[in-house]
Structure 1
Amino acid sequence: MMKQLYKTTGSIIILTTIVLSVCSCRRIANKVYEIKECILSGIDEIFDNGFYTNPGGWDYIRLPLIAPYQLLSLDNILTERFWVLVIENDVNDTDLGTNVVQSARKTVETVGITDSVIYCRYSKELSPDYNDLAIEKFELAMERFIIVDTRCDSVMLIEEEDEFRNALEHLGVHEPVMYQVDSVYNDFLKNKKLLFYPAENK
């Protein structure tokens, strides 16, 4: 009788411990989610300086991606645009930003965003500003694809499309969709549409 009571009591204690653990884990998970949302909100607030609404200035145009990442093209009076992937240095900095990568390619042709991952394809053509000597001297990147995981600011340069798609798959991007940068910019300019919006800008 006593043995049965001990077994029953033990089972109740174990079951109670499991239930409490599950509830505790859920509370922790909810708290972690709240903290993450707070951090993301804080990031958006930091860059709430027109980052997602400003199309550029008199001598440059810009396409916001995920703050602080953007595509930038200088000399907006030119009929042909030369897009580079740039990270904004500081909201109070007058500088337009720093190139995420020093590429030898002529321009970023297409861009896509899935969740927090930015991915771009560069043109086959090289920049007319660089010859072979300059490419070697300045160690310019020749790869045609770039992936930026904004969760950890990791940057991957990739040459082959198969490898590019495999890398995206690894990051959870199973069906990447890419758009012509000029078309996305024109839509942003006319209709204020972007590939990504922070919560308060939706």
Structure 2
Amino acid sequence: MLLIVLELIGIAVFAASGAVAAVRARLDVFGVIVLALTTALGGGIIRDVLLGVHPPTSLKNWPYLLVAGVTGLIVFWFHPQVAKLRRTVLLLDAVGLGLFVTSGTTTALALGATPYAACLIGMTTGIGGGAVRDLLLREIPLVLRREIYAVAALAGAVVVAMGEWVRLPKDLVALTGASIIITIRLIALWRKWNAPVARGLEG
């Protein structure tokens, strides 16, 4: 029950980030809801497609769709108030990233994926929705151009895969992986860390 609640919280946070981006891009209410759903559920759908799970889990469980859609509507109507909660949203986003990546990696391993593939699938579960959101807004995905986000996701996925490989308790592995992701993400935000870019570029 706790895991489901945490997943729904993660979906709500990701949906809010998608809806905020849509509002800033001046999309109409339908566009805001589409961006909210895409950001919240896109990573999980990509994971399930890669693993051959049909239909994707989020499309079978109506609470996932409901939470994402309602969150999009709330942001549409109350976006000035939501904008004031930026730090809280960033904190919850880090928690959601940790949860989604570890659950995605664990699911991939349980369905027979190799550790290497499971790490990539787990990372994609966490960052896929945001990347699709940015592409729909005709932007280079945020995870590819600033901040330590995808790197944190991949680090946590590797920890989960290694823990499963040496047969550590699953709960301990998931908690450790999620904690690493959240810690790296929050420190990166605090210290304003970014992945290095090529030198000598103009502009």
Q: TM-score, normalised by structure 1?
A: 0.28
Which structure shows the higher helix fraction?
2
Q: TM-score, normalised by structure 2?
A: 0.28
Which structure shows the higher strand fraction?
1
